[in-house]
Amino acid sequence: MSATRTLTPAMKLRRKAKVRRNILYLVLLAIALVAPFVAYPVFLMKLLCFALFACAFNLLLGYAGLLSFGHAAFLATGGYFTGIMLASYPGLTPELGILIGTLASVVLGTLFGALAIRRQGIYFAMVTLALSQMMFFFFIQAPFTGGEDGLHGVPRGELFGIISLDNNINMYYFVLAVFLIGFAIIRRAVHSPYGQVLRAIRENEPRAVSLGYNVDAYKLVAFVLSAGLAGLAGSTKTVVFQLASLTDAHWHMSGEVILMTLLGGVGTLFGPLVGAGVVVSLQTQLAQSPLGNWVSVILGAIFVICVLSFRSGIVGEIQKVVKKNFK
Amino acid sequence: MTMIFGVPLMVFMGQLMLGLINGAFYALLSLGLAVIFGLLKIINFAHGAMYMLGAFAALLGLQYLGLNYWAALLVVPLVVGGLGMLIERFILRRIAHLDHLYGLLLTFGLALIFEGSLTNFFGVSGSSYPTPEALQGGVNLGFMFLPIYRGWVLIAALAVCLATWFIIERTRLGAYLRAGTENPALMQAFGVNVPQLITLTYGFGVALAAFAGVLAAPLYPVSPTMGSSLLIVVFAVVVIGGMGSIIGAVITGLAMGLIEGLTKVYYPEAANTVIFVVMVVVLMLRPAGLFGKEA
């Protein structure tokens, strides 16, 4: 029938936006595929791991409105479990090791999430921070984490038992695949009816309750999803660097992921990616410069500036400009 | 020698005393957090940094200005409190109309700046502050040996907590403060200068942290990171007690210190984590906190 083929102007606009978005995705993918031949692959892998970490965090803060100050616990749990598994069972392939690390984070996320969602707002942040500090002390004292030294020499192994990950280019494409899977999960969750309900809870929790939604269940699923993906990032990072250390469990790490998300743009899909890119590059650059000792001061200053006058973040500001000029 | 569950009485009482001292610091810091939270509705993540600044100001004052301990106890809270008022007036006020989580993030940024700067100048190893002459030595109480300085810290901290309670519950200024906590807009309509009250409150809360810092200087190594690790424990204490009442904050602080001290005697491996475990239990049984109202 011809009637179904006529498009209203609104549909045309939407279709145009979709085409534009797909082109953007393809361009970004092309850049990601070429990148290891242009830039240092290990740096890119670090960036992708932190980007996935920040995207996972953003799912919670940006879409559910829950500020977790303890996401380092999930990054570290994933990292340590994967590291211990791969180091103690030489036959284990890396993808299985990463799966085990991720599952460990999911379990921890379920426990912490169930506790933390019993309080709201500022208390939620304090509870998550305290719980992750508890994990930090656990990792220091546990006999299997290597204490202050951390776990070293975790083998990268062979993917599916076939592809050697000791080759940095192979490793890079594997990390890219992990990132894309994680990103796709987040994108799917955000654009689903589930994501809509999450946003409704963020905007007005009592209203969501009165509409009959089981708010706690929605929050818990978001928390577990976010913790699991953070664990996935940590597990992958351990395989890349062949190392799991206390730095990942420290509360500074929880602060850093907040900064990445805030700087890139809270509640935007690409914000955490951009934020992670800026923060990781900055840290790498500063570490080699005479300003190396001032990293924490500079990060603190960026924090203050972001909160005072740059709350939409980089991607948020770009979106504002695009909306103003291309409609 | 008397034994308590297989531990010599002297050791037992000594650890209990150490726990009580830690508890006094938890009480002072969580009190300041609660006072600030009441009016500003933000959690001051820079509170640990302010405590650390208090200890450093005492140390530097002694080294470079010859400021003795007793003068530091008076001057340092005023100076650091003044710094707090400047921070409130020129930074925090600009984001007062936003979601209060931004206040947490901003003060976290400030904490990073203070901690990072001092680390660059003084390193992380920490220096020691001499115990003031009048408070050196100790007394044997028969059942325990009490270093005089520790006794003094306990008394001073409790006296300051009591004074804070008195100011807030029994004076006109405190009445304004409580009214402002309930309804700042109405207060302003009655002609009370609420912005000024907020500035003073933040300054007061910060001064309490700085006072705790000066008290702590002769006890613990003075280092740039001394505040942040303490602050996370204080957060757990605040979650346990709730920020509804002053007495509640003080009791919870002291009780958590005692529990920590007891754990050190019987199961030292868990001493770092026991307060977090208590927090977990409280969250399961009484999510609003022991003294809290559901917020």
- Using DSSP's 3-state secondary structure scheme, residue B138 falls into strand
Predicted local confidence at residue B293, as pLDDT: 64
Domain-located, residue B129: yes
Contact call for B91 and A304, based on CB within 8 A: yes
Q: What angle do CA A294, A298, A301 make, to 5 degrees?
A: 140
B236 and A130: CB-CB below 8 Å? yes
Angstrom CA distances, A134 to B43, B53, B116, B270, stand at 20, 26, 24, 10
- pLDDT confidence of residue B128: 85
* Partners of residue A258 in chain B, C-beta under 8 Å: 105, 108
Query: What is the pLDDT of chain A when averaged over all its residues?
Result: 88
Report long-range pairs for A167-173 (Cβ below 8 Å, ≥24 apart).
Answer: A168/A36, A168/A41, A168/A42, A169/A36, A169/A41, A171/A41, A171/A45, A171/A239, A171/A240, A172/A35, A172/A36, A172/A41, A172/A44, A172/A45, A173/A36
Q: To the nearest whole angstrom, how far is the Cα of B214 from the nearest Cα of chain A?
A: 24
The number of distinct structural domains making up chain B is: 1
CA–CA gap between residue A193 and residue A119 (Å, rounded): 25
Q: How many CB pairs under 8 A join A and B?
A: 114
Within-domain flag for B294: no
Q: Report whether B60 contacts B219 (CB < 8 A).
A: no
* SS3 assignment, position A179: helix
Average pLDDT over residues A250-265: 91
Does residue A1 carry a pLDDT above 60? no
Judging contacts by C-beta atoms under 8 Å, the chain A residues touching residue B104 are: 67, 122, 125
Does the pLDDT of residue A8 top 90, yes or no? no
In 3D space, the residue among A79, A72, A73 whose CA is nearest the CA of residue A101 turns out to be: A79
- d(CA A234, CA A214) in angstroms, rounded, equals 31
Q: How confident is the model at residue A3 (pLDDT cuts 50, 70, 90)?
A: low
Q: What are the residues of chain B with a beta carbon less than 8 Å away from any beta carbon of chain A?
A: 37, 42-43, 91, 94-95, 98, 100-102, 104-106, 108-113, 115-117, 119-120, 228, 232-233, 235-236, 238-239, 269, 272-273, 276-277, 279-280, 283-284, 287, 295
CB contact under 8 A, B106 and A303: yes
Residue of A nearest to B114 (CA): A297
Asked if the Cβ–Cβ distance from B120 to A293 is below 8 Å, we say yes
Distance CA A165, CA A111 (A): 33
Phi-psi region of A316 (alpha: psi -120 to 50; beta: other; left: phi over 0): alpha
Whole-structure pTM value? 0.89
- Identify the residue among B240, B283, B285, B294 best suited for mutation to test binding to A, counting A beta carbons within 10 A and taking the highest: B283
Encoding tokens for residue A15? 């279709």
* Identity of residue A103: L
Per-residue burial over B65-103, b = 16 or more CB atoms within 10 Å of its CB, e = otherwise: eebebeebbebbbebbbebbbebbbebbeebeeeeebbb
Judge: A126–B235 Cβ closer than 8 Å, yes or no. yes
Average pLDDT value for chain B:
89
Q: What is the dihedral of CA A71, A69, A66, A100, to 10 degrees?
A: 10
Tokens of B123: 């390193």
Per-residue pLDDT at A266 exceeds 80 = yes
Q: To the nearest whole angstrom, how far is the Cα of B72 from the nearest Cα of chain A?
A: 27
Residue B154 belongs to domain spanning = 3-285
* CATH code: domain of residue B202: 1.10.3470
Going by their DSSP bridges, the two strands B145-147 and B138-140 should be labelled as antiparallel
Strand, helix or coil for residue A158? strand
Antiparallel, parallel or unpaired: β A151-152 and B3-4: unpaired
Chain B residues in contact with A67 (beta carbon < 8 A): 101, 104
DSSP B143-205: S-EEEHHHHHHHHHHHHHHHHHHHHHHHSHHHHHHHHHHH-HHHHHHTT--HHHHHHHHHHHH
List CB contacts (< 8 A) between B235 and chain A.
126, 129-130
Please name the member of A123, A126, A307 whose beta carbon is closest to the beta carbon of B109. Answer: A307
- Do residue B287 and residue A127 have CB atoms under 8 angstroms apart? no
Between CA A98 and CA A232 the distance in angstroms is 7
The type of residue at A102 is T
Residue of A nearest to B232 (CA): A130
For a pLDDT cut of 90, what percent of chain B falls above it? 48
Chain B hits for A129, CB-CB cut-off 8 Å, are: 232, 235
Angstrom distance (rounded) from CA B115 to CA B224: 5
Q: Looking at the domain assignment, is residue B295 inside a domain?
A: no
pLDDT one digit per residue (tens) for chain B, 295 residues: 577 777 787 788 888 888 999 999 999 999 999 889 888 888 899 999 999 999 999 999 998 998 889 999 999 999 999 999 999 999 999 988 888 889 999 999 999 999 999 998 888 888 888 888 888 878 887 777 888 899 999 999 999 999 999 998 899 988 988 888 888 889 889 988 899 999 999 999 999 999 999 999 999 999 998 998 899 999 989 888 887 778 888 899 999 999 999 998 888 888 888 999 998 898 888 888 888 765 4
Q: A138 and chain B: CB distance < 8 Å anywhere?
A: yes
From A51, A25, A65, select the one nearest A233 (Cα to Cα): A51
Residue B293 lies in a domain: no
Spatial distance between the Cα atoms of B179 and A1, rounded to a whole number of angstroms? 69
A120 and chain B in contact, CB less than 8 A: yes
Give the domain ranges of chain A. 37-250
Nearest-by-CA chain B residue for A120: B295
When CB atoms are compared, the residue of A120, A125, A300 closest to B109 is A300
- Is A297 close to B100, i.e. CB distance below 8 A? no
Contact A266, A25 (CB under 8 A): no
Distance from CA of B56 to the nearest CA of A (A): 18
Give yes or no for A33 touching B (CB within 8 A): no
What are the structure tokens assigned to B265, written together?
Answer: 């005697």
Q: Do B269 and A141 touch (CB under 8 A)?
A: yes
